[in-house]
Structure 1
């Protein structure tokens, strides 16, 4: 019997990073340095109403860069909304750079626009298998500058864009190294007006990015691959571990404060750092079960309306959806790496009282935090019952790219148990 040779190589990638108060005023300078003269600014109606994208566009003029603003991004993007953005770009182009101003929805939509205005084919050609064809882009993409206005997704650091496929009622994505932004411009001033509900939900996305990449299967557990076969998500590695640990430490001191006191500039700055650091971690190591479960939770929502988000449609925000099965997912994965689960809990809650079974520590720390910041107490509070679980499990099992990163390979029965125990978390 022959055994596969274990992997000995991991890859690490990141965008250029510009961080600090006032950084967004310098985007024109940065674009000019990239050789850009005509940029498409991608944003959503809510951010557009603040005037921020228009201001960024005006500031570009000083460097002879012309901006065209598309403000039709759908919060929690769909295949339909992304196709509309692509059509706008095709009709109003050509452009030689793209600037995303907003949360993960705007940044992910900009990634899709960038891909489909530089490469042929349809969105479905590039979506992860088995939902789509999993095709890789053949042509280089334009320079993409990502300017986050929420502290959460880490989309400014990553190689993925996420969307709902409406006809299938499933959330999936596109993953390729060429989707990673060229430059991330992180300006904490842009995040000061983020509502408490958005701060809480998006912050749970930061937290789960850090926890999932930290507990992902190690890169050495994979079979050795040829260079052309290596994917951006290569498993936990020493560099991603460093970013994840730092993100957890920042969240320990800032998360509750940023939700309760959004005017606290220090807490906001720490959350912005944590979002970027966690993105630099999971954008290379990968995420696993909580994110796989989140896709059907968000994609099959019926009547839940979260605070701080547009009131005209039902949604479970991505970060909230990720968090709702996280305590039970980490209880399940504990056996694969007990020391990592325990260290993560201690980083997130220094001085936590360690009573009871060790496997319960991280779930307890997570549940305490979620309760404190107003996250629903399980999938039951966003409208799901035990009757929905088979459908949710089926949706999660479609996320094989994510589940392959889990430190334990979950069966349908394992996922069923995680969802059942997540109906009510406390």
Structure 2
């Protein structure tokens, strides 16, 4: 048995109705900064008021920071941290999708640490300084099934002035408590449900083919892939299907556990470059656009791993010649994208330009070069350009 290390310190309350546990669980402070998106959906659906009331039930005050964008930005991290300091908040609660929870993590870093958030970022123009002061405790309440951020330490923020979208995390940015209540996901519309579900899928699939995958991460990854493949089309077709919502929510949390025990690969670096230039591009949509060309490239690199992913997706591989089994994963991916109505996504729909592909390739390597080191065979710049070109339409 190979050696490996695993560490996921987050307490997770999972299941329909689990938001109510916020009124019972031991919480890490007495005043919360609640971080939500600028779109107003948390208020409209009553989730924000319910969260504040459950905190109040435990004698905990709260302050709202409601400016977070779908691709969260550096300036809002700094503004949220300043508000938390000003109001004397002693923990940060992210309520919403990955953007709100990621922002909560980054804000928690900057409440006590000096300077600019980008001082601590590795990659791009970041200075890579160590985080020396205490990170505020983090509570995550996810209302989407996509990023798995409730079960990992990672946060992705965009420096809008430099077109840099970069991930960051330390052991202290694991949430202390995460609540995964599929009832809070019933309001997510079909297209966003699909984009988010595929984000979870690719976290798991990339983690399975990464060169640091472990027996533990493999268990999480294959089950996540199986659940998304089986249940995402159901929940896209009927958003009120609570069983399917719960299964996809579980797949998402498992994909976060993959992120904690393995890693994404260069596909995520390549997508971050696209949405750094075009912030209106949903992350999951960008991954879908790249996926067929990307996994086709890796079919010859990790054929057995892709064949096993194909089996987890429901493909029968035993009757297929061994040399062809890896490509069954790409076939299954195409079927899943058709079943979820996202197979016609085009990069040109979001203003991405074919002439800019070399710039996207350079940005991917400059900002998130570390994920290229997780690939089982090196991708050079020409390989990256070729994948973008094959994916472009």
TM-score, with normalisation over the residues of structure 2?
A: 0.93
Where does 1:134-213 land on structure 2 (aligned, <5 Å)?
Answer: 134-213=128-207
Tell me the equivalent position of 2:246.
Answer: 269
Tell me the equivalent position of 2:110.
Answer: 116
In structure 2, stretches of 5+ residues that fail to align are none
Which of the residues 7, 22, 25 maps onto 1:27?
A: 22
Where does 1:380-395 land on structure 2 (aligned, <5 Å)?
Answer: 380-395=348-363
Distance 1:169 1:354, change over 3 A: farther
Tell me the equivalent position of 1:105.
Answer: 99
Tell me the equivalent position of 1:281.
Answer: 258
Tell me the equivalent position of 1:128.
Answer: 122
- Whole-angstrom distance in 2 between the partners of 1:46 and 1:87: 24
- Whole-angstrom distance in 2 between the partners of 1:262 and 1:403: 36
Tell me the equivalent position of 1:43.
Answer: 36
- Whole-angstrom distance in 2 between the partners of 1:378 and 1:134: 35
Q: SS of the counterpart of 2:134? A: coil
Which of the residues 63, 79, 83 maps onto 1:88?
A: 83
| 1:331-354 Cα deviation digits (max 9, x unpaired) | 222233211111101211344795
Tell me the equivalent position of 1:358.
Answer: 325
Which of the residues 197, 211, 222 maps onto 1:245?
A: 222
- Whole-angstrom distance in 1 between the partners of 2:238 and 2:81: 38
Tell me the equivalent position of 1:78.
Answer: 73
- Whole-angstrom distance in 1 between the partners of 2:376 and 2:28: 43
What is the root-mean-square deviation of aligned Cα atoms in Å? 1.9
- Whole-angstrom distance in 1 between the partners of 2:382 and 2:77: 34
Distance 1:127 1:189, change over 3 A: same
Tell me the equivalent position of 2:6.
Answer: 11
Distance 1:9 1:271, change over 3 A: closer
- Whole-angstrom distance in 1 between the partners of 2:339 and 2:113: 46
Shift of 1:419: 0.5
100-109 vs 174-183, which moves further: 174-183
- Whole-angstrom distance in 1 between the partners of 2:242 and 2:3: 42
Where does 1:219-258 land on structure 2 (aligned, <5 Å)?
Answer: 235-258=212-235
| 1:165-195 Cα deviation digits (max 9, x unpaired) | 1111121122222111111111111001111
- Whole-angstrom distance in 2 between the partners of 1:362 and 1:383: 29
Q: SS of the counterpart of 2:300? A: helix
Whether the 8 Å CA contact 2:233–2:339 is kept in 1: the answer is: yes
| 1:207-236 Cα deviation digits (max 9, x unpaired) | 00010000001xxxxxxxxxxxxxxxxx20
Q: SS of the counterpart of 2:94? A: strand
Shift of 1:201: 0.6
Whether the 8 Å CA contact 1:246–1:274 is kept in 2: the answer is: yes
Tell me the equivalent position of 1:411.
Answer: 380
Shift of 1:204: 0.8
Which of the residues 328, 339, 350 maps onto 2:293?
A: 328
- Whole-angstrom distance in 2 between the partners of 1:328 and 1:108: 28
Q: SS of the counterpart of 1:91? A: helix
- Whole-angstrom distance in 1 between the partners of 2:8 and 2:223: 18
Tell me the equivalent position of 2:338.
Answer: 371
Q: SS of the counterpart of 2:362? A: helix
In the TM superposition, structure 1's runs of 4+ consecutive aligned residues that sit over 6 Å from their partners are none
TM-score, with normalisation over the residues of structure 1?
A: 0.86
Tell me the equivalent position of 1:401.
Answer: 370
373-382 vs 68-77, which moves further: 373-382
Whether the 8 Å CA contact 2:234–2:241 is kept in 1: the answer is: yes
Q: SS of the counterpart of 2:383? A: helix
Q: SS of the counterpart of 1:68? A: strand
Whether the 8 Å CA contact 2:305–2:326 is kept in 1: the answer is: no
- Whole-angstrom distance in 2 between the partners of 1:118 and 1:271: 36
Which of the residues 282, 289, 292 maps onto 1:317?
A: 282
Distance 1:35 1:257, change over 3 A: closer
- Whole-angstrom distance in 2 between the partners of 1:354 and 1:128: 44
Shift of 1:369: 1.6
Tell me the equivalent position of 1:420.
Answer: 389
